[in-house]
Amino acid sequence: MTRSMIDIWYEIVKYASVLFLLAGVIITAAYFIRLYSKTNSSDKYEFVSKNQAKYFLYSSFAWIAALAIYANILLQPLLETSGGFEVTVILIVTLIVGFGMGYAAYIYDSLYYSSVVEKRLMDIRFKPRISQSGQKMRLLSEEEEDLHLTDEMIKDEEDLKFEYDVWLDESTGEKYFEKYNIHFHALICDNCEFRTLTSSGEEIVEHPTHEKEGLLLAHYKCANCGYSREVETRIPSLVSDAALV
């Protein structure tokens, strides 16, 4: 390689690695800005379950790209004394190492990172609530909370649409409802055993009538291996719904 070609190459490499480094920082900053701009727990919960793993993966990719490109600078003495063939080999090896690290980040993200996401979700959901009178509120159990939920809310829970939490200040009776969208919450895949199985939609196969129950089919698809499965949920008949009121 000629001197001027090498100089141009290192200029490109330098700026590209800085650019990728910055991209990683911007992705991470954007995540936290978006997260902390959400004021209520249910919005935070939905945002984290939908986005945290994704943002983490993209910023990892950006930083790995920055590192792999920067490796070219470290290999400078080698590149300068080599011919075209060696330079090609070195670049291919750098690319392979970069992709390898990217794949490792992907595996980490799918396999392990979900537990980090899960922990953040639990922190958001079960963070102690303080009532207006300054008392610590108590989270009601599933059984207790049904007494406070409307029929519509109970139906949402049964249909796996939303999850509700009820917080109670026992001294004043102040109640606080929280609604969570559990749709984006990944399940463990039966096939690859990564926690990458998410809901890809649902359909009512049989509408409930006054005489019989309906059937809801929820579709789950694994983001890692593509495996999909269906979960059937009975929808209470309209008669039994009316009888409950």
Residues that bind Zn ion (CB under 5 A): 189, 191-192, 222, 224-225, 227
Residue 108, SS3?
helix
Nearest approach, Cβ of 228 to Zn ion (angstroms)? 9
Query: Between residues 32 and 103, which has the closer beta carbon with respect to Zn ion?
Result: 103
Query: Between residues 82 and 199, which has the closer beta carbon with respect to Zn ion?
Result: 199
- 3 Cβ neighbours under 8 A, 6+ residues apart: none
Exposure string over 95-125, b if 16+ CB within 10 A, otherwise e: eeebeebbeebeeebbeebbeebbebbeebb
Query: Between residues 117 and 235, which has the closer beta carbon with respect to Zn ion?
Result: 117
Nearest approach, Cβ of 129 to Zn ion (angstroms)? 36
Query: Between residues 15 and 108, which has the closer beta carbon with respect to Zn ion?
Result: 108
Nearest approach, Cβ of 56 to Zn ion (angstroms)? 19
From 239, 243, 231, 211, select the one nearest 159 (Cα to Cα). 231
Nearest approach, Cβ of 28 to Zn ion (angstroms)? 27
Query: Between residues 216 and 222, which has the closer beta carbon with respect to Zn ion?
Result: 222
Nearest approach, Cβ of 197 to Zn ion (angstroms)? 6
Nearest approach, Cβ of 223 to Zn ion (angstroms)? 8
d(CA 116, CA 190): 21
Helix or strand holding residue 215 (H, E): strand 214-222
Query: Between residues 193 and 203, which has the closer beta carbon with respect to Zn ion?
Result: 193
Q: Where are the beta strands (DSSP E) in 41-192?
A: 138-139, 162-168, 175-181
From 13, 114, 21, 14, select the one nearest 61 (Cα to Cα). 21
From 21, 43, 14, 13, select the one nearest 178 (Cα to Cα). 43
Nearest approach, Cβ of 187 to Zn ion (angstroms)? 10
Query: Between residues 97 and 111, which has the closer beta carbon with respect to Zn ion?
Result: 111
d(CA 217, CA 196): 19
Helix or strand holding residue 193 (H, E): none
From 152, 126, 124, 151, select the one nearest 140 (Cα to Cα). 126
